[in-house]
Amino acid sequence: MKRMLLTISYDGTAYHGWQVQPNAVTVQGVLCEALEQVLKTKVSLTGTSRTDAGVHAKQFTCHLDCADNIPESAFLRGVNTLLPCDIAVTDCKEVESDFHARYNARGKTYCYNIYNSSIKDPFKLRYAWQIERSLNIDKMNAFAKEITGRHDFYAFSSSGRTVEDTVREISECFVTKNGDDIKITVTANGFLYNMVRIIAGTAVAVSDGKIAVEDIGSILESKKRERAGITAPPQGLFLEKVHY
Contact 103, 189 (CB under 8 A): no
* Nearest-angstrom CA–CA distance, 238 and 187: 12
Tell me whether the CATH fold assigned to 2-95 matches the one assigned to 107-243: yes
Q: What is the DSSP letter of 21?
A: B
Q: What is the DSSP letter of 3?
A: E
Neighbouring CB atoms inside 10 A of 16's CB total: 17
CA 185 to chain centre: 11
Topology, domain 107-243: Alpha-Beta Plaits (3.30.70)
First to last CA, the chain: 23
Query: Tens digit of pLDDT per residue, the chain (244 long)?
Result: 899 999 999 999 999 999 999 899 999 999 999 999 999 999 999 999 989 999 999 999 999 999 877 777 778 889 999 999 999 999 999 999 999 999 999 999 999 999 999 999 999 999 999 999 999 999 999 999 999 999 999 999 998 777 889 999 999 999 999 999 999 999 999 999 999 999 999 999 999 999 999 999 999 999 999 999 999 999 999 999 999 9
- Give 178's Cβ-side CA count (13 Å radius): 3
Q: How many CB atoms are closer than 10 A to CB 216? A: 22
Residue type, 34: A
142 close to 210: Cβ distance less than 8 angstroms: no
For the chain, the structural domain boundaries read 2-95, 107-243
Phi, psi of 174, rounded to the nearest 5 degrees: -155, 160
Question: Are the C-beta atoms of residues 80 and 38 closer than 8 Å to each other?
Answer: no
The residues that are catalytic are 52
- For the 2-95 domain, the top CATH level (class) is alpha beta
What local confidence, expressed as pLDDT, does residue 69 receive? 79
Spell out where the chain has E strands: 2-10, 46-47, 56-66, 87-95, 107-115, 129-130, 149-152, 167-178, 181-188, 237-243
